[in-house]
Structure 1
């Protein structure tokens, strides 16, 4: 135990003259590796060394000043470190540091008592030790009490002095703030039965309109697909499933025309969910259509469809279907 009272010196509270971290300290889950490393570095310094956060933050591989100060506060909260504003018997004052290789409960309690500040006021006693001076003027232990095995036994014939323990001032606990009265919610006028009925009817009308629009698109597509793709022989209930798909798309904000174009782009009676989503993305220009090998696939419809025809299949007049005449132009 250190009793070094030189102004500004470091007072070590450790059980060995060399740096050995106890297992309890090394495994203190409250400390991060940064804080544990900083504590080890401080314990390795001589007693005439002055702790400065600016100095600790300098040098290659060191943490910044704010990081060092944050770690020092955490060490103080756990009872490993604190600053001391020391008042000596000769009236002089000096700032020093106290470091421990094991957590000191008194230091941790004083850190809270003095408002989570690093510096704690201590006063030198006649025997060279220090006591903490609290705000109300009382004195308390500084946590450097000598262990029982270090105390010399009283001389023969002398009575052993009775230790008088001074109970430290309990940490000041701030009174909990008074709960604020709950803010009154603005009164919302209740709707009349007629207004509620009107809202229900309006919503039902919107649903019916969407159902009718979905049925119209699905009916058109089913007739168009059977005409150009052949009779549907897939799963039972294909028409109903297509109508439901279109209904969900309409509810999501797609128009009837976009749904019809998407069905044409998918080019199957009953498109799968991913085909349907991709087709909707293509017709609304959200995604680009896939083009294998970087070329635009050949399409009879885009090449031969008559102007103004919106059909996706080839339309050729009957009178020109089979009687085309091929020959060589006569040179004049």
Structure 2
């Protein structure tokens, strides 16, 4: 039983282990009690726990899924909660959530930007030091709103020790991990931002080129081949093929020529690869029936000429030694 100085006050039963909620958060009148209760529950979970509205709505005494989603949106708008699409340094993309014990102004500002997008998840990119930067729709990178870890501050320098006696060698000073100065960190961040900006520009250039070629081909194909009636969204799939080719080093002209050669609204993967091989002279073109028409002049030369490059011509000077016949091929034999 807690002791009270005021007999009409609130008695609080406490234990050693409890979830931490700042007083300013508990008294935040801009969020509902429902949202505050859900935030407290989320803060009490272990790191790595996944926030899912369908799971939060299950169980006795829980509210419905839409009520949970409404509370999550309320927390996100005030900067307590954020849904993230995380691109890791390995290239893998995973979904995750962030929860704060206090309202983060940057999260609230990001929510205002990305909540109006088709995908409301905030895209963040992992950096070399393990932190994350937000990738904005214009390709720029910015802070993810997390404050520096106070445990990551520069440790105090150890006190100087008196030199050891002359007869004893001085003890080796333990190696300490060097930390970056603010200037070094700023320079590194600027270099990373420049690299990210360059990568974003290259991506945009490829996307714009793919859209240009794809729009031209789709208009051309519908005019000469008719409307597309495939089961999938043919335009998006075809644009993906073109973008992959551009990213691999093919030019817009080569992609356009390959589409003309394939003569399909949406070529198959093999048709697309073969067409690219033909227009870049990597593979020889084939005729529709796979046969090459016979030509006397191409095989034996024009009348009165001797094909000097054939083995028979090199062995014999007199071509009259050969006797030719005609083979008639009939259908159904």
TM-score by length of 2: 0.41
TM-score by length of 1: 0.42
Compare CA radii of gyration and give the structure with the larger one: 1
Q: Relative contact order (alpha carbons < 8 A, sep ≥ 6): 1 or 2 greater? A: 1
